[in-house]
Structures are given as structure tokens and as C-alpha cells.
Amino acid sequence: MDFDLPKEVALVKRTVRDFAEKRIAPLVPEMEATQKFPVSLIKEMGELGILGLITPPEYGGSGLGYLARMVAVEEVSRISAAVGVSLQVHHMGVATLVDFASEEQKQKYLPPLSRGEYLGTCAITEPTGGSDLLGMCSSAVSRCDGYLINGRKCFITNSHLCKAPIFVAKTGEGPKGISAFVVDADTEGFAYGREEHKMGLWGANTGELIFNNCRVPKENLIGDEGDGMKVALKIISEVGRAGMAATALGILQASFEEAVKFAKERTLYGKPISNLQAIQWNIADISAQLDSSRMLCYRAAWLKDAGRDCSIETTMAKTYVTESALQCSKKALEIHGGCGTMMEYNIQRFFRDAMVCISAGGTSEIGKLVISRAALS
Ligand SMILES: Cc1cc2nc3c(=O)[nH]c(=O)nc-3n(C[C@H](O)[C@H](O)[C@H](O)COP(=O)(O)OP(=O)(O)OC[C@H]3O[C@@H](n4cnc5c(N)ncnc54)[C@H](O)[C@@H]3O)c2cc1C
């Protein structure tokens, strides 16, 4: 066994850490104040190459793969989980095109996504409930040379930053009655809806996509009619959950660093509080959860790169690491005492961001359902 990252992935990790510290960290206060995504960053991320990490070179990416993508999202999220989640959902849109789109669709949509002309999306959730895919209401009715789309997608990351959203809608009944599409945002009948105000991940754009008698041409169908469920499940389980695990891993790493720093700096009874056993035990817990989280994340990405089945391992990583990020950011916040609740300390942001990561990409209950089904089968 080899626990070292491959050389090119280690280089991606170092490069992205440097970029995140120099280019993203200065943007965080503005993102926290305005809850707006810094649009200029999209182009910069494109130039750095992190938008095209899973895009084959013939479509403008580097094709470095999912482990490289994992460490890139982790390092971005260590500085800003809001940018991390935006990057990871962008990759969900890209993966849908890479794995399921026609040659014409790949040629048209992948190069601008790699360059950073806009961010990708993957719009599945509806107001009827994200856990209940079959309960969706959006319809795509076949009409001569295309489809007439009606419906509404909600809680969609990068909704307003994407010029060609990918979405699923009903073309029939049951699991085979869902199809996947891409829509050009200037299509008549398509509109961006409201933008959400979340308790965390401030600056990540989350909003609605609205279809009102929107005519989408047949060539915008992704895969075959009826493939939508297969597309959605694969992208959510293998790409979305891995991305949320990476986002939470970045938060965990940042929480660990803040906890250690504060414990060494804060003096009580004439000594740093790192001398108190209660503080040491909390640091030990955070440290062990960080390490085990990283191993689950990297294994899931390694399996994906090897072309092996990874949906259970990815779901384990998502469920365990998001829950760990929440528990550990809370412990790290408590180490800060009252300071932890003050807005000028980063740790309150990590705690709020970790909470939002629990439901994004599928809740912990759904994660446990998937893991236990596999364990019991
Ligand atoms: C920040 C953020 C970004 C997001 N980005 C995207 C995106 O880009 N694209 C997208 O499509 N969606 C996105 N989502 C939506 C996300 O996938 C859903 O929030 C998630 O799937 C849960 O759906 P829901 O919120 O409708 O909760 P519901 O499905 O209504 O669930 C409510 C509660 O019921 C529980 N529950 C449901 N079914 C079961 C069951 N069988 N057994 C036990 N408990 C159950 C859930 O765990 C939860 O506690 C995002 C969400 C957030 C918060």
C-alpha cells in the first residue's frame, strides 16, 4: 500500500493551497458581507486549471482525475467552503457532460466550462423534496423537434452563475420516466428564480431555476430519453457526495488549525490552555477525525479514478466527513470560549458552513440508508 499522493496530485494540492491563500482568502470578508460569489474568481480558477481537472484534454481540461479534484476542493474549502462547494458542483455539471453527453454537446459546453466562462450546475432538487427523486414535478413533454419544459428547481448551487444549466425532468412515469437535459440560459421560457439566504456557505450562490413553457431542442437531451435517473444517481453518488466530502474535509482541516492556534495562544492560570487535559482531548479527537476523514475521502477518489465501483465508499466519506466537520468545528469553537461566538473569529464561519454541508448532496439519513443497505445485503 502507498499512502503518498501521486506526484502530480501532490503538486495540484500545493498549487491550489497557494492560490487559495493568496487569491481566495482576501475575498472572504467581502463574500461574508455581501453573500455574493466573486465572479472574477471564475476566470482565475479556469486559468489555474481547477475547473477542468476531470475534463479530458481534447475538451480543454487536464483530465488529471478525481483524486486531483478531491485535493483541489479540499484546499479551496480550507480557505472558503463557499468557493469549495461552488467548485465541486461545477465538477458535477462537467462530469454529467463527460460521462453522458453527445460529442456535439461535449464540444459545445466543455471548453467554456474549463476556461471559466461560467460555472457548471447539476439541478435535480425540487420543492417536493430532494430525498425523493421520483417525487419531482418538472415535466418535459415531447413536441415535434424538442421538449416543452415546465417546473422549478430549488437549492441549486451556481444557479445564477451558469449559462447552460443541466437538469432532470419527467418524460414519463417511474424511474425510467426521468430524462436529463442541458438548457442554454437565453432560451425563451427559462428564468433564474430567487437566490437563497443560507445560514452558512455565504458567497456560494444557491437559487432557483424556473421553466415556464420552455422549448428545449431534442439535441439538448443528455443520453437517451429515460436515462435521467441513472445520470442523476451516478453523478450524485460518485461526484456530488465526493465533492461535499472534500468541502467538509477542508472545513475540518481549517477547524483543526484554528483550534491548535488558539489553544497555544490563549493563556489561563498563567499557562496556554493547551496545557489543560480537556483541551488536549478535544484536539486529539479533532486530529483523529481529520485523519480518518482524509483517508475515506482519498480512498473514494482513488477508487473512482481506478474505474471501480465507489458509490458506497463515496457515500461513507460524505456522511462521515460532513458529520465530523460539524462535530469538530463545534469542538474547535468551544475551545475558543466566548471568542468562538464572535464574528471576527473564523471558527464561527466553519461551524455554520459545516452545518450547511450536512444536507447538500444528500442528508446523513439518506447516506446511512445507502450504507446500511449495502452492509445488510
Ligand atoms: C447549500 C446547498 C446546496 C445544494 N445544491 C444543490 C445542487 O446544486 N443541486 C441539487 O439538485 N440540489 C442541491 N441541494 C439540495 C440538496 O440535495 C437537498 O437539500 C437534499 O437532497 C435534501 O433534500 P431536502 O432539503 O428537500 O430535504 P427532504 O428530502 O425534504 O428531507 C427532509 C428530512 O427527511 C429526511 N428523510 C428523507 N427521506 C428519508 C428516509 N427515507 N429515511 C429517513 N429520513 C429521511 C431527511 O434526511 C431530512 O432530515 C443543495 C442543498 C443545499 C443546502
- Best mutation site among 359, 365, 372 for ligand 1, i.e. most ligand atoms within 8 A of its Cβ? 359
> 93 and 100 in contact (C-beta within 8 Å)?
no
Within a 13 Å sphere around the CA of 44, how many CA atoms are in the beta-carbon half? 13
Q: Nearest Cα to 111, choosing from 96, 99, 94?
A: 94
Give the pLDDT of residue 1: 87
Q: Which residue has the cell 478531491?
A: 70
User: Which atom, in ligand 1's list, is nearest to the CA of 364?
Assistant: 47
State the Cα torsion 94-95-96-99 to the nearest 10°. Answer: 130
Give the pLDDT of residue 144: 84
pLDDT tens for 22-64 read 999 999 999 999 999 999 999 999 999 999 999 999 999 999 9
> Is the confidence at residue 148, as pLDDT, over 90?
yes
**CB neighbourhood size of 45 (10 A):** 23
Arithmetic mean of pLDDT, 76-100: 98
pLDDT tens for 347-366 read 999 999 999 999 999 999 99
Nearest CA to ligand 1 atom 38: 131
Q: Does domain 133-228 have CATH number 2.40.110.10?
A: yes
Nearest CA to ligand 1 atom 12: 125
Arithmetic mean of pLDDT, 257-279: 98
User: Which atom, in ligand 1's list, is nearest to the CA of 361?
Assistant: 17
pTM of the full structure: 0.98
Task: Give the residue range(s) of CATH 1.10.540.10 domains in the chain.
Answer: 7-115
What are the grid coordinates assigned to 106, written together? Answer: 461535449
Q: Tell me how far the alpha carbon of residue 344 lies from the centroid of ligand 1, in angstroms.
A: 31
User: Which atom, in ligand 1's list, is nearest to the CA of 92?
Assistant: 8
Residues with CB under 6 Å of ligand 1 are 89, 122-125, 129-132, 155-157, 198, 201, 206, 356, 359-363, 365-366, 369
Task: Give the residue range(s) of CATH 1.20.140.10 domains in the chain.
Answer: 232-376
Task: Give the residue range(s) of CATH 2.40.110.10 domains in the chain.
Answer: 133-228
Give the CATH superfamily of 7-115: Acyl-CoA dehydrogenase/oxidase, N-terminal domain (1.10.540.10)
Q: Nearest Cα to 79, choosing from 366, 374, 358, 349?
A: 349
CATH of domain 232-376: 1.20.140.10
